[in-house]
Amino acid sequence: MKYFSVILIALFSLNLFTSISFAEEITLFNVQKDAIAYIDTNDELTIYSWDGKPLAYLTGNNIYGFNGKHLGWFLSDGTVRDHQGYIVGGVQSVFGNTNFEPFKSFKEFKPFKSFKEFEPMMPMMQNLLSPMPLSLFLYQGKD
């Protein structure tokens, strides 16, 4: 009976650990190397601010706001680009040494996605920084 209890507890523990999915999150930094937002890959590629506000989401390499507005692109090189092709932000490898990431707040509920604008033609990519801060860029997608 004791042996059976140990096996039952082990199976329960194994089932518990296999049902937990670990979220992979991709931190987005602004050009000042501050962590501004993160992409939750287990939550429909939603982009959240550090205080838990859902700001935008990815469809392919397109960044859309929940208001349906096309904001820009998240490219395979890890850069976030605006409609002029300027760098608005990116992942840590884009900027090198970055500042510490703050603690994340609990996520708020996501709003409904509005109808998406048509994706504009992708501009020629520039090696220049956008004058628009990443936080403002992402907040354009709020309702």
pLDDT per position as a tens digit, 71-103? 999 999 999 999 999 999 999 999 989 999 988
In a domain, 134, yes or no: yes
In a domain, 66, yes or no: yes
Q: For residue 82, give its domain range.
A: 23-139
In a domain, 14, yes or no: no
Which distant-in-sequence residues (6+ apart) come within 8 Å of 125 by Cβ? 75, 81, 85
Mean pLDDT score across all residues of the chain: 86
Q: What is the pTM of this model?
A: 0.81
In a domain, 69, yes or no: yes
Count up the domains in the chain and report the number. Answer: 1
Residue with tokens 């890890």: 78
In a domain, 68, yes or no: yes
Predicted confidence (pLDDT) per residue in 18-65, tens digit: 334 455 899 999 999 999 999 999 999 999 999 999 999 999 999 999
Count, residues in the chain: 143
Q: What's the burial of 124, exposed, middle or buried (CB within 10 Å: 0-12/13-18/19+)?
A: exposed
| Token duo for residue 133 | 């801060």
